[in-house]
Structure 1
Amino acid sequence: MAAATPALGVLRKAGAAFTVHSYDHDPAGGASYGEEAARELGVAPERVFKTLVAEVDGTLAVAVVPVAGALDLKALAAALGGKRAVMAPPAAAERATGYVRGGISPLGQRRRLRTVLDASALAHTTVCVSAGRRGLEVELAPAVLADLTGAVVAPVARA
């Protein structure tokens, strides 16, 4: 049985279809946890999504974007009806979500934050997101991810 994380608990409780993938995280492997996940799992970077925490008009929010791209902060603010977005300090992201940087999942967060899923996710049958710790990913349908996080789906990533 796969490791127990709050993210996996949410999926199990919902009866959602998902697959858990694990790999040995290399602590010296560089700063991009998402790119490491794509490489280690042999999954196209367009299908592996990173969970980023930002402040939109002073309130924390989550953006789920492909590791192959970057977050467009103006688009994130607009998707949530805000004016301005900046990246949240890592310590604030960890406190709010209950996860460590590189293992922040959009699912099972300590405090449910408003979430935006990049629209590119809908082009894939399944996407991979962190399952709540470094080296652990969960693969699921983007519609399930959007439903379980209450996400707004909008184009918030740029190449």
Structure 2
Amino acid sequence: MKHIPSVLAAVGAFGLLLLSAGCGDFSVAVTATGYVKDQASSYSRLICEKDFTAAAEFHHPDFVWHPQGGEKLSGQPAIDGFFASLKEISKMDTFYFYVHNVEKKGDKIIVLEVTMQAHTVENSMQMIYSNVIWKARMGWAKSDIASWQLANITEVSERVLGDSPPKDIKPL
């Protein structure tokens, strides 16, 4: 009987470790920022799979897309425009976000400062690869008690060809 508290403490510590570490691709978000990063990761994966219909479900109905040097769009035209801009990237193979900073703005807005990278296959026979890289801010808005939706994407740099992703930053 005297060992029960220590056993319960060990079980609790193990449970907390599992919640915070996750297992492979599975993790449990304990904070709002963790949940948003998980949502962004799922969104990125769907774009990588070119499942734009499923990815569209992550957008807030009033979603705003502001491309660098372009016209700001909102609502369904913004969603369609952002996806069309990705589809226009010739020979896109995979798509990632590199998260540089997470900023919580009150209880209802979380902003991810990211580098977006579209990996392209120029010539698979000669193993010639490239990337289209640009920086953006992604605003996620709390839509109800347990749900966050992508409210806006503001591209803060031009889309440029590059050889590699930013150093020391891992994909989301």
TM range (shorter): under 0.3
TM-score by length of 2: 0.25
Higher relative contact order (CA 8 A, sep 6+): 1
State the structure with more CA Rg: 2
> Larger % of strand: which?
2
TM-score by length of 1: 0.26
